[in-house]
Amino acid sequence: MKRGSTMQQGFRVQVVAMTLALLASGCATTTNPSAPVNETVLDANSQYLVQAEARGRSLKLKVDPGAPYFVLLNDKVAKELRLVGTKAATLAVGPMRLKGSTRSEKLTIGGVTASKPVMWVKGQAIGDADGVINPANLPGDRVTLRLQAPQPGEQIIELPMRFDRQRGLYHEFDYGGQLILTRFTLEDRLTTATGAAASVIAKRRTGLWEGGPFVHQVRFGVSRPVRRMVLGQTLSIKGFPLNEFAVRIMDDRGSYLLPEKEVPTAAAEDEEGVVVTGKNRRSYGAAHFWLMIGGKDLSRCSTISYDRRSKRMVMSCSITTS
């Protein structure tokens, strides 16, 4: 790994008036518009990488809103830095359990040095970077990811967010009284849902299967069986539309049932797409209601920003659906 502090192309930290930040990012916020904003802007040319330094070693960290609470380092990098864990951590991916080590470590990012919670998992490898960092762990007031040029007819979507040790950065989506913890990631192209979350969504949005199960890498390098579900009615998350997602059919489902019907074929167009709800005798682990919105759906957005002061995610997106 080469040493140095040269910032990646497309990465900059800037202090601007809020009005200028709004024009630059196409975003809005509820904070005082006259207050200056210390904003980190990353575009696609940078591959959303920031330059960091730990113990005199240069690091490339990929910024992703779906990253965990901890700065997740490659196991190899942790060994090179001679990091010694002070606490053990367990990462759950459905029925899979990964053992990790954690500690507080000083990182210098954008000229700011601060202690950050870091974690590494034995054998864990992160492609094209030394680690992954959540925008909530970056210095400054706001982090903006520029995905593409603004598209005609985009609208601003604001989501209040929480950031904690167990869940990372997430939005509490109240869906008919059931909270579905919703995250956003650019690292997974597919939008995925746990079995329990898919069950309650399918019940109210006529979710039907399209195609058979397949294996997909969902998190921390772990692959799980998933199946594509299409919705008869669009699901709106504070204005952000979803029409399909991949269901982790064996994960975090509890005893919730999933649909029995598939999308009708031309030979069976008159069949009623009945979604069977209720309880199943077989349990697929404890029911957890998670939704991870992936890059394919986020491609409808030109910018995604996390505002630390207001604790909001602000997205400028096209909300038209086909």
The residue-averaged pLDDT of 299-317 equals 97
Both 127 and 45 in a single domain?
A: yes
Which of 118, 149, 180 finishes a domain? 149
Quick check: 21 pLDDT over 60? no
pLDDT at 20: 34
Both 106 and 215 in a single domain?
A: no
The pLDDT tens digits for 48-105 are 999 999 999 999 999 999 999 999 999 999 999 999 999 998 888 888 888 999 999 9
Which of 149, 170, 200 finishes a domain? 149
- Is residue 155 domain-resident? no
How many domains in the chain? Answer: 2
- Is residue 298 domain-resident? no
Both 34 and 122 in a single domain?
A: yes
Both 138 and 227 in a single domain?
A: no
Both 97 and 201 in a single domain?
A: no
Comparison of pLDDT for 138 and 127, the residue scoring more: 138
Both 145 and 19 in a single domain?
A: yes
Quick check: 319 pLDDT over 50? yes
Mean pLDDT lowest among 31-40, 48-57, 112-121 = 31-40
- Is residue 92 domain-resident? yes
In this prediction, residue 163 has a pLDDT band, given cuts at 50, 70 and 90, of: very high
Percent pLDDT > 90 in the chain is 70
Quick check: 17 pLDDT over 70? no
- Is residue 113 domain-resident? yes
Both 34 and 143 in a single domain?
A: yes
Quick check: 9 pLDDT over 60? no
How high does pLDDT run on average in the chain? Answer: 85
- Is residue 106 domain-resident? yes
- Is residue 96 domain-resident? yes
Both 138 and 206 in a single domain?
A: no
Which of 124, 149, 174 finishes a domain? 149
Domain that residue 245 falls in: 190-293
Quick check: 5 pLDDT over 50? no
Quick check: 160 pLDDT over 90? yes
Both 258 and 128 in a single domain?
A: no
- Is residue 73 domain-resident? yes
Both 201 and 78 in a single domain?
A: no
Please state the three-class secondary structure of the chain as a single string.
CCCCCCCCCCEEEEEEEHHHHHHHHCCCCCCCCCCEEEEEEEEHHHCCEEEEEECCEEEEEEECCCCCCCEEECHHHHHHCCCCCCEEEEEEECCEEEEEEEEEEEEEECCEEEEEEEEEECCCCCCCCCEEECHHHCCCCEEEEECCCCCCCCEEEEEECEEECCCEEEEEEEECCEEEEEEECCCCCCCEEEHHHHHHHHHHHCEEECCCCEEEEEECCEEEEEEEEEEEEEEEECCEEEEEEEEECCCCCEEECCCCCECCCHHHCCCCCCCCCCEEEEEECCCCCEEEECHHHHCCEEEEEEECCCCEEEEEECCCCC
25: domain CATH number is 2.40.70.10
The residue-averaged pLDDT of 278-286 equals 62
In this prediction, residue 40 has a pLDDT band, given cuts at 50, 70 and 90, of: very high
The pLDDT tens digits for 200-223 are 999 999 999 999 999 999 988 889
Both 196 and 66 in a single domain?
A: no
In this prediction, residue 283 has a pLDDT band, given cuts at 50, 70 and 90, of: low
- Is residue 321 domain-resident? no
Comparison of pLDDT for 14 and 143, the residue scoring more: 143
Both 121 and 200 in a single domain?
A: no
